[in-house]
Amino acid sequence: VFANEIICCGGAINSPQLLQVSGIGNAEHLNSLDIPVVQDLPGVGEDLQDHLEVYVQWACKKPISLYPALSPWRAPKIGFDWLFRKKGIGATNHFEAGGFIRSNETVKYPNLQFHFLPLAIRYDGTAPSEGHGFQLHVGPMGTDVRGRVKIKSGDPLEYPSILFNYLSTSNERKEWCEAVRLSRKVIETEAMSELMGEELSPGPEVQTDEEILDFIAKEGESAYHPSSTCKMGVETMSVTDANLRVHEVKNLRVVDASVFPYVTNGNIYSPVMMVAEKAADLILGNSLLNAEHVPFYKKEIKA
């Protein structure tokens, strides 16, 4: 590649993979794959972080959910309305209500995120039961779990080995038990009493910590927020600097969620856009705006 500067925007999985197959990464691992080492950066692919989530589902006692929309006979009209009129139930993802909550009184800042969906449905599009229902999507935001992305060969087309390490720490397991119990507590309020039917998932028989964690292990799914595999910083395991440049490598920047020092306390779309806009200003040499000093919460780094 001949260019003044290379900008890698592969995301938290592909960016570390691309760096590694190009000889930038842990020298010992690269040597084991007979890849010439361009720069020994042991942090490439390390510190993988993500948000895991599950849905807690209930039957709805009133016929007001989106259940009728699951009928295959309604699909053509839903698609037509969205494609040609830009309206109808296909014009939204329906996660229009949500919030953040603290898992217990000792937590200083909300560490759980809720999304509410007026339909009981699985990610694969199947419903847990016949009839109307609704669900809460919930998951801990401040995970202390760390995984990694590691290439298996020098072939850029071969998928890398990805280890998320979900549920591998006592703190994450504790927060998950709290998350499921708080989900139930939210729906069991008086405001929802006219709507709440039987619990469909995980089901009323799931009560102990062990039972809840077994449910999470089987049903938990990624929220698709992988981050931090080329993290910004100055310590040994960092990969990029404050200008998004790869340490000790000329004319190479990484601009995506992999540069996050740690995953954000919520969805990553807006923070990724912020990183991209900042990168654009740095690359173009635009003058920076005056600094604004506003209060914010800085979470404790657990790992």
Could you tell me where the beta strands, DSSP code E, fall in 2-86?
6-8, 24-25, 39-40, 46-48, 52-60
Q: What is the pLDDT of residues 150-173, one digit of tens each?
A: 999 999 999 999 999 999 999 999
Q: Pick 125 or 232 by higher pLDDT.
A: 232
pLDDT for the residue 289: 83
Let me know: does 200 contact 58? Beta carbons within 8 Å: yes
pLDDT band at 216 (very low <50, low <70, confident <90, very high): very high
The active-site residue, picked from 132, 225, 247, 293, is 225
pLDDT for the residue 130: 87
**Domains of the chain with bracketed CATH:** 6-49+226-284 (3.50.50.60), 52-66+93-144+166-222 (3.30.410.40)
Q: What is the pLDDT of residues 226-282, one digit of tens each?
A: 999 999 999 999 999 999 999 999 999 999 999 999 999 999 999 999 999 999 999
Active site residue 225: yes
**What is this structure's pTM?**
0.91
Residue 298 in this model has a pLDDT that exceeds 80: no
Cis peptide before 128 (omega within 30 of 0): no
pLDDT band at 213 (very low <50, low <70, confident <90, very high): very high
Mean pLDDT of the chain: 94
Alpha helices in the chain (DSSP H): 11-21, 27-32, 75-80, 170-187, 209-219, 269-284
